[in-house]
Amino acid sequence: MIIHSKAPFRIGLAGGGTDVSPYSDQFGGAVLNATLNLYASSTIIPKNDGKIVLKATNLDKVIILNSESFLEINGELDLQKGVYNRIIKTFNLDPLSFELITKMDVLPGSGLGTSSTLVVSIIGAFVQWLKLPLGDHDIAQLAYSIEREDLKMAGGKQDQYAATFGGINFIEFFADNQVIVNPLRVRDEWIETLQNNLILFYTKTSRESAKIIEVQAENVVQKQEKPINAMHFLKEHAFEMKAAISKGDLTGVGELLDKSWQQKKQMAKGISTSEIDRIYDAVMNAGAIGGKISGAGGGGFMIIYVDQNLKTAVIDALHQFQGEIYPYVFCKEGLLTWSEDE
């Protein structure tokens, strides 16, 4: 038997950063995101030779290990190891022998929730293989716990839920660690228009989101008024974005993207760069209504909203930069798992 899974990457439309501790713990957070037809995929091939083979195709990395109850976390494919370690521990399993192959449609550090989505995909493959009693909320929470608690990786809570549930979701984070996922029911014609008017632009720059997020978290710990107020505005924007999308006010969506971007840059140093500022100024001068970096900032993907009649001018403005416009469609499905006979 061969086991497969895939989980979709997401773009953050509003509220990003308010899902990060300690802000979400103290004040509660809210985000609005949407998943795309770009995926993290995992394949498990069971073995019986006492070995574990980990293959990350994007990184051209292969590791062969002895089958043990705990795999050393040493900087080599730690996400894969972290999921395995927690599965063995939580379900009190004997060491497993298998080959795990992972693949991502975008590069790490691109701002689409890559690491969290990959973790959800890997968990999904183990759930399918071992018939583990985990529902969607369980998988998302387990993915968060593996990254933030076991592996000590800085980051927020939205990506794990977006990847697991899929679709356009308004997600609230409460001080008691409760998370509520609210799927938005949006008319198909509005989704098509949003999809057509929203450009996904890869800046071809990567960044280590953890460093930006650590600064952001420290600003909250130090009670820095300017960054905290910016996060308050971003949370408010998530509620406003929910209302705009729900009633088909797509120009309002673009305007909120711009408002959110101006506030997001106040949360921590490094969220924007001189190159990102140049790109943003160019598309706004060409007629875009708004945009922002997706994810923690510093690089990766930008989303840009422009009315159809000015889209060509904005695309022309983007062509002067080294990045790449990515084709995409919104996807409604979250984590998918299945098996096939060898």
Choosing from 159, 176, 188, 249, the catalytic residue is: 159
CB within 8 A of 300, min separation 6: which ones? Answer: 109, 110, 111, 112, 202, 203, 205, 206, 207, 293, 294
Residue 309's CB is within 10 A of a number of other CB atoms, namely 8
| Angstrom distance (rounded) from CA 107 to CA 240 | 31
CB within 8 A of 264, min separation 6: which ones? Answer: 16, 17, 230, 234, 271, 292, 293, 297
Query: Is 136 one of the annotated active-site residues of the chain?
Result: no
Q: Please state the three-class secondary structure of 257-305 as a single string.
A: HHHHHHHHCCCCCCCCCHHHHHHHHHHHHCCCCEEEECCCCCCCEEEEE
**The length of the chain, given as a count of residues:** 342
- The string over 239-248, giving b where at least 16 C-beta atoms fall within 10 Å of a residue's C-beta and e elsewhere, is ebbbebbeeb
Please say whether the beta carbons of 261 and 12 come within 8 A.
Answer: no
Report the catalytic residues.
Answer: 159
